[in-house]
């Protein structure tokens, strides 16, 4: 299964038999069998009929459409959903179980911190000139791991504080892996103000929507998470799921710049916003699919396992209905 990325203006999509056909400038440019498609991501002006959206969803193909100024808006059509209501009942009940939520959150944060340390160790091997800064970050994250595992930690808010402090130390160290011309001095977003942050934001966004799709496919509500707080329109469970995977995106983005797949001339400034240009996006998407396949499989395994456990919990905690008098 693969994702089709469309970033060419005036592309038209049609369904021909059981294949998706691509037209540009009035000419048929190629086809992709629906059986091979997992999702379609549209970045530029793409034309398609509403009936095609319905057919793609019926075939289990999700559609992501970026629009608005600087692709700041996103519309999503999901493929098939799982229909076991017990999974969502269990999901809601676990939301009201603080001890379970803390165990879940610890697992996510400890996995994230462990992967952050691994990346910094790799960084020392590749950039020995940055050994001091990278080692300093590594040790700070190690202290955070100890605090996150401490039995006296009983509040998720405290865990969030530990994770946030570790993230600040991590990104200070991570910045040493990039050339000064990229101007990366820490994480910033909405808008990203430098090329590295622009690439990180795009990667996180795409991975987040992989998690959203995995949630729907497993019969879970991506809005109701356990580590990330509930907020209007925030897909908190999807954010939970990608938390330990973020360092993998960081590692991949570093490789793009290190190998000069992405260069400074692939980006442009629009006020305070750094934008990845079309040529850069082509390089990004060409590499992204190879990176995200194993993460997609992992997210699906995780959500299926979580969903089965939540359904079992719902059934175990559901009282039998009382008989009613006639």
Q: Which residues are annotated as a binding site for Mn(2+)?
A: 163, 228, 243
- Binding-site annotation: residue ranges: 163, 228, 243
Distance between terminal CA atoms of the chain?
55
Give dist(CA 103, CA 235) in Å, integer: 20
Cα dihedral value 305, 213, 6, 51, nearest 10? 130
Task: Please state, in angstroms and as integers, the Cα–Cα distance from residue 226 to each residue in 73, 103, 149, 221, 235, following that order.
Answer: 26, 10, 18, 12, 11
Contacts 24+ apart (CB under 8 A), 91-96: 91/220, 91/221, 91/224, 91/237, 91/310, 92/224, 93/313, 93/314, 93/317, 94/226, 94/310, 94/313, 95/224, 95/226
Give dist(CA 267, CA 8) in Å, integer: 18
Residue in the block written with tokens 């060419």: 8
Give dist(CA 101, CA 109) in Å, integer: 12
Q: Which residues are within 8 A (CB) of 324 and not within 5 positions of it... i.e. 6 or more apart?
A: none
Q: Order across the sheet with 19-24: list the strands.
A: 27-33, 19-24, 11-16, 46-47
Tokens (6 digits) for 196: 């590295």
């Amino acid at each position: 299964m693969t994702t089709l990325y469309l970033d060419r203006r005036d592309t038209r999509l049609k369904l021909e038999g059981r294949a998706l056909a691509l037209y540009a400038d009035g000419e048929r440019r190629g086809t992709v069998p629906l059986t091979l498609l997992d999702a379609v991501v549209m970045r530029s002006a793409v034309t398609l009929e509403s009936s095609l959206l319905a057919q793609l969803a019926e075939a289990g193909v999700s559609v992501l459409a970026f629009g608005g100024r600087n692709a700041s808006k996103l519309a999503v059509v999901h493929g098939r959903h799982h229909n076991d209501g017990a999974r969502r009942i269990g999901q809601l009940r676990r939301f009201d179980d603080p001890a379970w939520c803390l165990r879940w959150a610890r697992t996510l944060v400890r996995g994230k911190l462990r992967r952050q340390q691994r990346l910094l160790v790799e960084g020392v091997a590749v950039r020995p000139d940055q050994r001091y800064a990278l080692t300093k970050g590594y040790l700070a994250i190690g202290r955070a791991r100890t605090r996150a595992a401490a039995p006296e930690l009983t509040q998720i808010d405290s865990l969030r504080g530990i994770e946030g402090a570790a993230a600040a130390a991590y990104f200070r160290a991570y910045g040493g892996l990039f050339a000064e011309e990229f101007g990366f001095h820490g994480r910033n977003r909405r808008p990203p103000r430098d090329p590295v942050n622009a690439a990180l934001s795009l990667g996180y966004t795409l991975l987040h929507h992989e998690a959203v799709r995995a949630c729907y496919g497993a019969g879970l509500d991506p809005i109701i998470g356990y580590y990330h707080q509930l907020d209007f329109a925030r897909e908190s469970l999807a954010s939970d799921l990608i938390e330990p995977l973020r360092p993998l995106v960081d590692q991949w983005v570093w490789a793009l710049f290190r190998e000069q797949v992405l260069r400074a001339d692939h980006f442009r400034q629009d006020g305070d916003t750094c934008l990845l240009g079309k040529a850069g996006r082509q390089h990004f998407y060409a590499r992204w699919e190879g990176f995200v396949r194993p993460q997609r499989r992992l997210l699906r395994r995780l959500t299926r396992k979580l969903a089965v456990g939540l359904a079992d919990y719902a059934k175990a905690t559901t009282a039998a209905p009382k008989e009613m008098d006639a």
